[in-house]
Amino acid sequence: MRLIDHFVVGGVRSPSVRHGDIFDPNTGQIQARVVLGDQAVLDAAVTAAQAAQPAWAAMNAQRRARVLFRFKDLIEQNMQSLAELLSSEHGKVIDDAKGDIQRGLEVVEFCCGIPQALKGEYSHGAGPGIDVYSMRQPLGVGAGITPFNFPAMIPLWMFAPAVAAGNTFILKPSERDPSVPNRLAELFLEAGAPEGVLQVVHGDKEMVDAILDHPGIAAVSFVGSSDIAQYVYSRGVAAGKRVQAMGGAKNHAIVMPDADMDQAVADIIGAAYGSAGERCMALPVAVPIGEKTAEILREKLVSAIATLNVGISSDPQAQYGPVVTAIHKRRVEDWIQTGVDEGAELVVDGRGFSLQGYEDGFFVGPTLFDRVTTEMSAYREEIFGPVLQIVRAKDFEEALELPTRHQYGNGVAIFTRNGHAAREFAARVQVGMVGINVPIPVPVSYHSFGGWKRSAFGDHNQYGMEGLRFWTKTKLVTQRWPDGGAGDSAFIIPTMG
């Protein structure tokens, strides 16, 4: 059976080795095992990262960018094999897997412009013969803890800005689908990065805690559930680290009466059920305004759901595949039962879905609830599966209040032809990322990604200039070069006025 080991300089492994099972979500069978590391493995990785970091940081930014350019080319050349590997462990269909890689690749492309992005500010003549300038310098060794749902994109979001800025990086991916992160590290080394600049360690909570406590790691980036994000943030900050921790979501799709209903339904179906709903930017809540809009939306959603093709991840005709593990399948189905118990109307039930020849696969059929209310825990909490809930709103103000008052504030979308309503909604809604007739408003790589409330802990967003600010610290230099005359004997600090 295939064994996935750490990607650490020297191949250091602890004498006491634990393993985790990696499943094929399509069949339910174990296809590989991953080595779960401990403190000794992390110590070896940190030592190698510390050894490599000074020379990597001293390399001029243009030369680091050349490594990233070659890395970008290698990812593109290996896109198909990476997508197939990702799909085989995660369960998302090949097109979704390619999208996963592509959105991460766009951040690498942004980071290829790192010489421009790291430019500081300069003030000539801030005082008599005095100039002031700033520079952005790396933190040292960074670490990333990433979730199972985007095993290529989120690691690339983290380590590309970090290493571009001159840090070295230790990645701890999900133990459920660890092969693609290892492969990305191999390609980065092939692109010309020195050993130790990017390493991958595998593990569970033991490794997470070791990362959060390790004195040799300066900063940690995390994406996962909100409870764990809060834990990571609190423990990491207590250990003196800079931490950004992205949590869960419950994104809403507001459907105005004037919306292009066919387009809205197509977008909501794709956003709610694509990748089996295992996306923090999915749209699991549809909010039609007015009873007439709700009835039209419900009818069209039911018709669209009937045409969805759920299949194995390698099936080019499948629109989504299985969820990642049997445990996660049970969790999603338990939430469906909770919705029923709480009084929501189950319109389409995805439980018990079976695919001929793959009866042991981790499949959940598309599920639709109507007449969901804000008091229901199935509405308040993140389900993270192919479950769509309709929450009816009587007017615009009530629809606006739903995402604004929810504990999560990751993303939201509004479907309308009314520019004033869209503008008002975007300005007032208390959510970090807003889509106007865009179902999954993940910003492009030269902006940044981040939610509000319990969807994010920390002061910096992912990637873009926000990401670079997270992975660097600012140094301010005030300088004077006297000409030797008597008038230059006193140093006068510039003041206002």
Positions marked catalytic:
280
Distance CA 17, CA 283 (A): 40
Read off the tokens for 293: 């809009």
In contact, 194 and 9? CB cutoff 8 Å: no
In contact, 35 and 4? CB cutoff 8 Å: yes
For residue 289, give the DSSP letter.
Answer: B
CA 372 from chain center: how many Å? 28
Distance CA 49, CA 195 (A): 8
Give the relative orientation of helices 261-273 and 291-306 as an angle to the nearest 10 degrees: 60
What are the phi and psi torsion angles at 256 (to 5°)?
-75, 155
CA distances from 98 to 82, 102, 179 (A): 8, 6, 15
Distance CA 304, CA 209 (A): 45
For the chain, give me the number of helices (H) and strands (E)? 16, 21
Distance CA 205, CA 257 (A): 47
Taking phi first (over 0 means left), then psi (-120 to 50 degrees means alpha), and beta for anything else, what does residue 140 get? left
**Closest C-alpha among 208, 217, 211 to residue 147:** 208
Read off the tokens for 76: 């593109």
For residue 443, give the DSSP letter.
Answer: P
CA 41 from chain center: how many Å? 25
The dihedral built from the CA positions of residue 88, 91, 97 and 100, taken in this order, carries a sign that is negative
SS3 of 292, please? Answer: helix
Q: Label the pairing between strands 168-172 and 472-480.
A: unpaired
Residues 6+ apart with CB under 8 A from 138: 53, 57, 165, 166, 167, 471, 472, 473
